[in-house]
Structure 1
Amino acid sequence: MPEAAVGGDDRGRLGRWAEDLAAAYLESRGYRVLARNLRTPEGELDIVARKGEVLALVEVRARRGGAVGSAAESIGPRKRQRLLRAAAAYLQEADPTLQPRLDVLLVELSPRGRLLRLEHIEGAVEG
């Protein structure tokens, strides 16, 4: 498995690495990445991807071993609401024939940066 090219506690680099990995993973599963780090008036969407008639709005969560809680647990009520508002803002301009879905892609690493788990949870955030 690949190792993260990040050291120390550089969360920004870890996040970018995880988003690169997530985009490559989605493409390998037949998704076409339409946008990354898309800013809306209500917040940012990490990845916007399409597969068939599904428009996946993907939140990427990365955690390194030793961090408190899992990547999935890092999406609390405030983050969930921010994601829902950002998705709603984006969908006002999106193709209305597509089926929107808010997914989470979890990237969990060992303390040394080895990839332990990559999990795509479709429809993880519902409003």
Structure 2
Amino acid sequence: MRLWFAPERVRAEGVTPDYRFSLANERTFLAWLRTALALIGGGFAVDQFLPHLAWGVRAGLALTLLVAGVLCALRAVNHWVRCERAMRRGEDLPVSRFPVLLSLAVAVVAVTMVVVVLFGWEGS
């Protein structure tokens, strides 16, 4: 986590990779951040624009999306650092289970929303 705030320490390791790879790593980082922003926006949208949804369902869906957005943003910087270090060291790129977990969280929210749309879930 210290490396998140010290990119010069990352650059001090190994050899400088082809710039195209570093720029591709940065584009991936930015794509993760866009995903995080979309998840956070979706969480706020569920909370603000579905007032007739039962409170527990609305809060659960909104919090799932918000937490996924926060985790996605944190994962983005962690993944960027890990990939940059691996490229500089000539190692294989790191693998992660995070995309699967994020996909499952989004799928749970989507299935719940399908149920809400089909059957309603009005609060009192």
**Same fold, judged at TM 0.5 (above):** no
Task: Identify the structure with the greater helix proportion.
Answer: 2
- Pick the structure with greater CA Rg: 2
Structure with more relative contact order (C-alpha pairs < 8 Å, separation 6 or more): 2
Classify the TM-score, shorter chain: under 0.3
Instruction: With the length of structure 1 as denominator, give the TM-score of the two structures.
Output: 0.24
Instruction: With the length of structure 2 as denominator, give the TM-score of the two structures.
Output: 0.24
Task: Identify the structure with the greater strand proportion.
Answer: 1
